[in-house]
Amino acid sequence: MTYENLETQGTIRQVFLPQYVTKDNQPQLVSPDQIYFTRVIIDKGKRCSTSTELFGEFGPDCVGRQIRLVESYDQPEAGLKRLTQQVFIDSKLEVDQAVIMRV
């Protein structure tokens, strides 16, 4: 399965504590060697919200700010998946990152 440029937009309603992940504590992680994941809840309007993990470290100062998340997913080879994220906060690119995991 592959998808490209899946887009989520809205207002950040809640930010959870970032999690620091390394190859040592998450054996499925292939690349990069270490990364932060931050779970956020995005209010998409019309009583609709979504919860997702962002690559990078985000804090409570992001609550109430506009977010645009663009994700792509593919499988570069058997047994691996690559997820790419571009995170825009108030129209400014904050993250442009790919993560490769074992499936």
76 confidence band (pLDDT: 50, 70, 90) = confident
pLDDT over 90 (residue 53): yes
d(CA 40, CA 103): 24
pLDDT, average across residues 59-84: 95
pLDDT over 80 (residue 67): yes
Place of tokens 């399965």: 1
d(CA 71, CA 22): 22
Domain count for the chain? 1
DSSP assignment letter at 58? -
Give the residue from 52, 100, 51 showing the smallest Cα distance to 73: 100
Place of tokens 């950040």: 12
Q: Are 49 and 42 in contact (CB under 8 A)?
A: yes
Q: What is the pTM of this model?
A: 0.89
Task: Tell me the average pLDDT of the chain.
Answer: 94
Range(s) of the domain holding residue 87? 3-102
